[in-house]
Amino acid sequence: ADESSGYESESAGGERAGAAAPGGTRGRQRRARTAFTSEQVCRLEKTFQRQKYLGATERRKLAAALQLSEIQIKTWFQNRRMKLKRQI
């Protein structure tokens, strides 16, 4: 249960003190959050305005153009669609 939170903060020890077995809180480290540049966000938003879903070819081209991974592009579009859904 503790591993799924994704927080590996040193100051969070009070909550789990003694609750887990030694070494039990050392799970996989979560990947650092991507800091998109303003140019990348602008290009992503423009692409999103034209089409809400990208096929594999479009995703590959956009990832190469923005120097991001295809997974980062895919995740950004998923998150952006959810943001749009919340706004509606």
For the chain, give every domain's residue range. 38-87
CATH code of domain 38-87:
1.10.10.60
As given in the structure block, the two tokens for residue 84 are: 């749009």
Distance CA 60, CA 12 (A): 39
C-alpha closest to that of 72 among 51, 44, 48: 44
Stated as kind and residue range, the H or E segment containing 46 is helix 38-50
Asked if 19 and 48 touch (Cβ cutoff 8 Å), the reply is: no
pLDDT tens digits along 34-68: 899 999 999 999 999 999 999 999 999 999 999 99
Higher pLDDT, 46 or 15: 46
Q: How far apart are the first and last CA of the chain?
A: 33
pTM of the model: 0.66
Residue 55: how many other CB atoms lie within 10 Å: 9
